[in-house]
Structure 1
Amino acid sequence: MDAFKLMKELRMNYEQEVQYLPKETGLSLIESTMQDDSRISAKCRDAKVEDLWSLTSFFGYSTQTFVLAVNLLDRFLAMMRIQPKHLSCVSLSCLHMAAKVTEEECNVTSTDELIRIGQCRFSVSDLGRMEKIVAEKLNFKSKAITALTFLHLYHQIALSHSTDRKETLSLEKLEAQLKACLCRISFSKAKPSVLALSLLMQEIESVQSGDMLEIAYHIQRHLKIADGELLLWSERVALCLSDYASPECSKPNHRKLQWIVSRRTAQNLHSYRSVPELPTIPEGCWDESESEDSCEDVMSSGEESLSSSLGSDAEGPFFPLHLRRQKHRQHFHA
């Protein structure tokens, strides 16, 4: 695709991205929820996104699947009020919906296998009902404009100006860093176009390329992104990646998800488990001031977390230890 068509597609996606943003009021309510509350907290949501990263890696799904699943999850959580014990069903529904859109049909994991590997305690029919609820509430059909959409376009635009930048500007590295950011709910408030450009500029800063910086500036001017907005999210991205690179951060294993389970757990994972049919799920929205929860007891709580073993791109060269917490240089003010 030539540069003109790329810039035209970029502008079109920029104008439509607002349609796929989670409601900021709903995200703020999640952030203000205490961990011991009966509502979803930011920590609870972030842990579940890390679980999605684990499962994405385990099943060999693409970054596109993961990013779309997180987008669906955030949009649904920002709209509906659900209890923490129902979050596993919602998140796996989003992952399965995303996989059916982005992966080859032969590579999409069955719902039964998804539930068993995810060590969840609800039935296939529960998952199917939840998928219908999520699809209906989000009016989901086949796509969403996400930060990954812009990251790919920015990368193509940069490469269209010079083919010798392929090794310096690694799309794989940028995708890994995007996934790390999406594990924090605060980045769900960023416009996808701005978050992607912030990641691009972070990488340009690390390779110290003046001409690539000019390309980034050209993109910023084309989309009319304000300097202040870009600087704000660039600083937050730098801080996130710095935290992620620190030894104190609980990072996932560099290898793909590995299961270390007891004999009893292994038997549960590899044997068919019959889960009784459960009642229909009532619904309620965030904007209903005193509404009941959107779900009754459709599954048991207490699913184990997978976040101790995420994807293989979650550490190593994509998150170098030399990253420091510092304000971006003056070129972000230009």
Structure 2
Amino acid sequence: MKPPGEEDNRRLGTLLLNTLEREMRLWRAPVLKNGCIQGSDIGPSQYQEVIVWMHEMSTVFQFSSETFALGVCVLNSLLATVKAPFKYLKCMAITSLILAAKVNEEDEVIASVKHLLEQSGCKFSTAEILRMERIILNKLHWDLYIATPIDFIHIVSTN
């Protein structure tokens, strides 16, 4: 393998800068205020539990690590945008993961929403998930490409 030349370094630098600019423009994270995510009654331990649960569900559904990372970023962007009561956290989490799968996974890998809900043990209806999808998409202006740490790893490792 030959060492990277000046052109390769310039291309890598451009890719990293473009991805970083997009992340800086779009990235939002939930803010903690008085021990809860601002505008909600969701505490740090509840947030952490739902992230662990999302990872477990991602593994059960056989989604890629990219899908899990994007699902977490979608959830974070949503929590930074809306005032979310705790009772909707799991619905928001599973819907964020499903939306991430629709972006990253092959159609054959994604089961129906009804089947995913059965596998996850969630008590939400398909209609509730579809309604939450519309809410998330509207709040995020239909832009689900959010740079994740894995995007940066891919850029560096492929160049």
Residue in structure 2 matched with residue 8 of structure 1 by the alignment: 14
Partner of 1:18: 24
Distance 1:135 1:144 in 2: 13
Mapped to 2, the partners of 1:135 and 1:127 lie a distance apart of 12
Structure 2 residue matching 1:93: 3-state secondary structure: helix
Instruction: For residue 155 of structure 1, report the CA deviation from its aligned partner.
Output: 2.5
Deviations 1:58-100 (A, max 9, x none): 1111111000000000111122112212111111110010000
SS at structure 1 position matched to 2:108: helix
Measured after TM superposition, the shift of residue 143 of structure 1 is: 1.4
Deviation at 1:141, TM superposition (A): 3.2
**Secondary structure in structure 2 of the residue aligned to 1:2:** helix
Tell me the distance in 2 between the aligned counterparts of 1:130 and 1:115. Answer: 14
* Residue matched to 1:32: 35
Q: Which has the higher helix share?
A: 2
In 1, Cα distance between equivalents of 2:70 and 2:157: 19
Instruction: Tell me what 1:65 maps to.
Output: 67
Query: 129, 132, 137: which is aligned to 2:131?
Result: 129
TM-score, length-normalised on structure 2? 0.86
List, as ranges, runs of 4+ consecutive aligned residues in structure 1 with deviation greater than 6 Å: none
Cα RMSD (Å) of the superposition?
Answer: 2.0
Give percent identity, aligned residues only.
Answer: 26
The aligned counterpart of 1:47 is 49
Asked if structure 2 preserves the Cα contact closer than 8 Å seen for 1:64 and 1:148, the reply is yes
Match of 1:196 in 2: none
| 1:95 alignment partner, one of 85, 97, 100 | 97
Q: How does 1:299-310 map to 2 (within 5 A)?
A: none
Shift in Å, 1:154? 2.5
Deviation at 1:139, TM superposition (A): 1.2
Matched residue type, 1:113:
H
Measure, in 2, the Cα distance between the counterparts of 1:115 and 1:19. Answer: 33
Q: Determine the structure 1 residue equivalent to 2:155.
A: 153
SS of the equivalent of 1:97 reads helix
CA shift at 1:51, angstroms? 0.7
Q: Is the 8 A contact 1:20 1:146 kept in 2?
A: no
How many residue pairs end up in the alignment? 151
Describe the SS at the equivalent of 1:105.
Answer: coil
Q: How much has 1:52 moved relative to structure 2?
A: 0.8
| Greater relative contact order, per chain length (Cα 8 Å cut-off, separation 6+) | 2
- Aligned ranges 1:163-242 → 2 under 5 Å: none
Q: Render the CA deviation track for 1:242-280: whole Å, top value 9, x for unaligned.
A: xxxxxxxxxxxxxxxxxxxxxxxxxxxxxxxxxxxxxxx
Distance 1:6 1:33 in 2: 39
| Distance 1:155-1:140 versus aligned 2 partners, 3 A rule | same
Structure 1 residue 142: Cα displacement: 4.5
Matched position secondary structure for 1:132: helix
Q: Return the letter of the residue paired with 1:33.
A: C
Match of 1:105 in 2: 107
Q: TM-score, normalised by structure 1?
A: 0.43
